[in-house]
Amino acid sequence: MMSPILPISAARVFCDGTFGTPRLAHPEGVAVHPDGAVWCGTETGDLLRIAPDGAGYERIAGSGGFALGLAFDKDGNCYVCDLKHQQIWRWHAASGQYAPFAGNGILVPNYPVVDQARGVLYVSDSRGEGNPGHGIWRYDLATGDGGPWSAEADWDFANGMCLDETGNGLYVIESYRAVVRHVPILPDGSAGPARVVLSGMAEVLDGLALAPDGTLYISCYEPGRIYRRTPDRTGVEVLIEDRHATVLAHPTNIAIKGDRIYAANLGRWHITEIDLAG
């Protein structure tokens, strides 16, 4: 049985950086730090930390590039995909240093996923429009060494990713095919054959997040919508939609904290908070 769609009133502007310094300029990536703060990146390459209550934010670092997805490891280090520099940058929690970490030929590093158990970082390579190819790269968390990982070389704009419920596979969005594929992580760490597990959704899918209860959330750059697949896997349904594109304005990446979803809005200057209880 499908759940009712949440009213748009369940979403609010969590942190507005329209006139802040630096400006919270068209955020693409968002992640929750272990201390409860919400971090995001901007189109000018700034890495920002938003207070847990959304009351304000501060600039942590910057690359002068264009920040896309970001993720934390267990030590609080932050990995940030940079479109302009075609690299993954790392903010080192212990030293505060922000520097290029990995790249090695990746074209459009879009979304990073930390696999702490295997000591690796997976990064989707969107590659650009009309340029299918290797869609997932893998890098060593200790050294930054790595290269293409996925067995298939026909990914059409690989985008948001997350580890599956077992930790032994990746869910990956293909934006231009409007599907979610699953890639098994084999015992030797290599990639198994990818298969489509979700389809029939509107274009353009962008971000993914898996809740502790097994619910998979899928954000949609266009229209301004978030989907969910419940743990019973009976199908995918619309969670919430903003037809005015004001609170949810081209939502890209999403992150979960408790009973809240945080969405970056590439179309505006704020981070959105969605109350899953309505």
**pLDDT one-digit tens code per residue, 63-121:** 999 999 999 999 999 999 999 999 999 999 999 999 999 998 999 999 999 999 999 99
Q: How many CB atoms lie within 10 A of CB 25?
A: 19
pLDDT confidence bin for 2, thresholds 50/70/90: low
CATH code matching the domain that covers 211-278, chosen among 3.90.1070, 3.40.390, 2.40.50, 2.40.10: 2.40.10
Quick one: which of 193, 223, 187 has its CA closest to 205?
Answer: 223
Dist CA 239 CA 108 (whole Å): 29
Query: pTM for the full model?
Result: 0.96
Dist CA 112 CA 159 (whole Å): 10
* HSE-CB of 29 using CA atoms within 13 angstroms: 36
* Rounded mean pLDDT, 232-254: 93
pLDDT at residue 1 tops 70: no
* HSE-CB of 264 using CA atoms within 13 angstroms: 31
Q: Range with the lowest mean pLDDT among 24-28, 170-174, 234-238, 249-253? A: 234-238
> In a 10 Å sphere around its CB, with 0-12 CB exposed, 13-18 middle and 19+ buried, how is residue 81 labelled?
buried
Q: Range with the lowest mean pLDDT among 7-16, 38-47, 232-241? A: 232-241
Q: How many CB atoms lie within 10 A of CB 43?
A: 18
Q: What percent of the chain has pLDDT over 70?
A: 99
Q: Where does residue 26 fall: left (phi above 0), alpha (psi -120 to 50 degrees), or beta otherwise?
A: left
Q: Which pLDDT value is given to residue 123? A: 98
